[in-house]
Copies of this chain bind each other. A is one copy, B any other.
Amino acid sequence: MKRSAQEIKQLREQLDELTGTGQLRLVSDQAAGLHPSDLADLIESLAEEYRVEILCMLPTPLASQALVEMAEGEDRAQLLAALPAEKIAEFLRALPDDDATDLIGELEPDDQRKTLATLPVDEAGDIKRLLRYDEETAGGLMTTELVEVEASLTADEAIRQVRILGRDVEDFYTVFVIDQERRLLGTMRLDDLVVADPGASIKALVEEPSVTVSPDEDQEQVGKLLGRYNLAAIPVVTDEGVLLGRITFDDVIKVIESEQTEDILMLAGVTDEDELKHTWVQSVRTRLPWLMLNLATAAIAASVILVFKDLIEKELTLAFLAPIIAAMGGSSGTQSLAVTIRRITLQGSGSARGFVAKEILVGLVNGAVLGVGIALLAFLIDGNVMLGLVVLLAMWGNQIVAGFAGAFIPTRLDRAGIDPSIASSVFVHTLTDLLGFFLLLWLASHLLL
């Protein structure tokens, strides 16, 4: 049932009152009408002491799905650890194996073993197999529950088989066509199968799969392929082409969102994609190392000022101009960097030459305009034409390098297999700081005195 944010807030307030008076039964009656995603939010907003009780009171299918929809992290892990083992097993039995694996993956190894022991042998086996894959790979995302038909059937026979197999499979949009060795021959969208001529043979209807992935494929790549080819589900196959499982669009949307969070945060020097769920202590731990690195590089760049101390003493306007030129290099470098990193994420780092050249050109033009601007400012303050020329050249040079570095460094890093987001940011800013200070003061020492 759909609820507006307003309705959910009202419900939240009612629940606060009810939990205050201990009438948990009433709370769970209210909550039973929610969508699992809304229920997940509600549970996350409740005090810890009520979470376990509410979950145990709610119908198992709803409660288990709400657990899946809760944000991954300490909160959920604690809640899982607090649930009775039989209740967890009951929840897991109600879930598709990929969701069950995600939940079990958050338990301590001991609790994992205990819980798996309470499950039917074949379900426990599926989950154990899935647990072996890295969470951020195709194997970590896939479910082994799918609807498959053999190519030798007619459309009518296939639909009859889909009707039987489909009862145990959640949300299948794609029918997988296999041979007798369970090798994938192709896929059919369920809607194509439904409208097909009943007598047509599946062999004639099947599309060779436009794309398959191996279980070790990185989740980011899975997201790119599904988006690019507009697929509702991607088949996961072994090297021999045997069908292992499928990954559906809804899992992929979550992957795309979390990969994008990672990109944005990395670019800003926040190295942990789970930052949004962190307590302040965890945030200090993940952000401080990068800030300390920044302090070191900023100090190295600024030490150029110490080298030219005597010059600055004679011409104090330079102390005013130096941080401006460095900061503007940083601004342009950040623009170029963000565009390049987004380009790499969406299109890969191939064929970069034209792209780097474009960024240099942009720096050349922007640098000329900004250089004239700061030269006028310097002249107004100081009345010295030569100082104007010095800052013009320093700004211009630094802008060109900023454009070049912002495009070139991440492209190179990506080709070398290094995530470009965080390393590039440090490189580019150190370079533009250092060069900004140096160009200004070196030119001033040669042209001014």
Which residues of A line the B interface, CB within 8 A? Answer: 1-2, 35, 37, 159, 162-163, 166-167, 169, 171-173, 189-191, 194-195, 208-212, 226-232, 249-250, 252-254, 256-257, 260-261, 263-265, 267-270, 275-276, 279-280, 283-284, 287-288, 290-292, 294-295, 298-299, 301-303, 305-306, 309, 312-313, 316-317, 319-324, 326-328, 330-332, 334-335, 337-339, 341-343, 346-347, 358, 361-362, 365-366, 369-370, 373-374, 377, 381, 433, 437
Contact A226 B208 (CB under 8 A): no
Q: Which residues of B contact A313 (CB under 8 A)?
A: 313, 316
Query: Are B346 and A257 in contact, CB atoms less than 8 angstroms apart?
Result: yes
Shortest Cβ distance from A234 into chain B, in angstroms? 11
Q: Are B37 and A229 in contact (CB under 8 A)?
A: yes
Bound Cα distance from A334 to B266, whole angstroms:
11
Name the one of B1, B162, B291, B339 contacting A194, with C-beta atoms under 8 angstroms: B162
Interface SS majority for chain A: helix
- Quick one: which of B169, B347, B362 contacts A280, CB cutoff 8 A? B362
Q: Judging by beta carbons under 8 Å apart, are A433 and B327 in contact? A: yes
Q: Kindly report which residue of chain B lies nearest to residue A433, judged by CB atoms.
A: B327
Closest B residue, CB atoms, query A166: B195
How close is A392's CB to chain B, nearest CB, in angstroms?
A: 13
A324 touches which of B229, B276, B298, B361 (Cβ 8 Å)? B298
A331 to B370, CA, bound (A): 23
Q: How far is the CB of A370 from chain B (nearest CB, A)?
A: 6
A199 nearest CB across to chain B (Å):
14
Min CB–CB distance A204 → chain B (angstroms): 16
Contact indicator B323/A194 (Cβ below 8 Å): no
